[in-house]
Amino acid sequence: MSGKLKEVRERIKSVQSTQQITKAMKMVSASKLRRAQQAITEMRPYANRLDKMMKNIVGNLEGDINSPYVKVRDPKKVAIVVITSNRGLCGAFNTNIIKEAILKIENEYQQQRASKNLTLVFVGKKGYDVLRKKYPDCQIERQFIDLFSDLSFENVSRVSQMLMDSFDYGVFDKVDVCYGQFRNAAVQEPKAVQFLPVVRIDDDNQAANKKPSKADYIFEPSKEVLLNELIPSILQTSFQKFVLDNHASEHGARMTAMDNATTNAEELMKELKINYNKARQEAITKELSEIVGGAAALNG
């Protein structure tokens, strides 16, 4: 019985130690989440409006625009950017993004994969660790897996500029991005969106069954000069939004996961303490019975 009591005590200590860790991780993630949420909340309306304006311009000037980033080609060579976190302990957050990437690969890009023209670009280690093993026949680009150590616009734009240059030079005919879109601390939605070529506003309207909308723009300076500067800048801003969305989602998912783990540890400790008290009572009852039995035998 003493061995059982010792075992329960050790389990209680272990759960208490784990609970202290999960509480600390929850507090750290909550602190980081506030900053990350503020960053994406401030940027999202600006980035979304710019993106809508770019798609509208491209839709209006379909046959009269010379930007290399709007040219639709047969997607023989495709890149999928998979944005995940560097660390785990954030529930199903990374798994859901990886599943979204797998759906893209299995449903849309089997032909490119078979011809070894599918490239996986990784931002974050978790996606890299899983997909490089699952798809050894794909080309792997891993130089950006540590991007989250510096989320400045200058650093993040290295990735978007590489993708844009590769598309311009014909290395890729199409670029998709898989990431986690931040809704709130408890909800993160995995997304797969087309980054290049630029999707026209008419395509978005058709996908959402909306009526096509046209806008009349006056360009100053000339249309060519303006669009050559405007479209790359908007694309870099959109990619920055993907990364900041994913960053906030990671901390929201981790905070929620650690909160659930802390609650589960509390429930487990209650159960263990009940078991410990029962075992202790059984041990005391047994000892009293032995004492009473021994006294009765001596008196007899």
Q: Are strands 118-123 and 139-141 parallel, antiparallel or unpaired?
A: parallel
The Cα–Cα gap between 216 and 259 comes to: 51
Non-local (6+) Cβ contacts of 119 within 8 A are: 77, 78, 79, 80, 138, 139, 140, 141, 172
Alpha carbon distances (Å) from 287 to 5, 275, 278: 14, 18, 14
Among the listed residues 263, 195, 252, the one whose alpha carbon sits nearest the alpha carbon of residue 47: 195
Question: Contact 164/197 with Cβ under 8 angstroms?
Answer: no
Question: Contact 78/118 with Cβ under 8 angstroms?
Answer: yes
Catalytic status, residue 90: yes
Which one from 90, 145, 175, 199 is the annotated catalytic residue?
90
The Cα–Cα gap between 233 and 222 comes to: 17
Q: Report residue 74: phi and psi, to 5°.
A: -60, 120
Question: Contact 2/277 with Cβ under 8 angstroms?
Answer: no
Among the listed residues 37, 145, 40, 133, the one whose alpha carbon sits nearest the alpha carbon of residue 83: 145
The Cα–Cα gap between 152 and 182 comes to: 19
Catalytic residues: 90
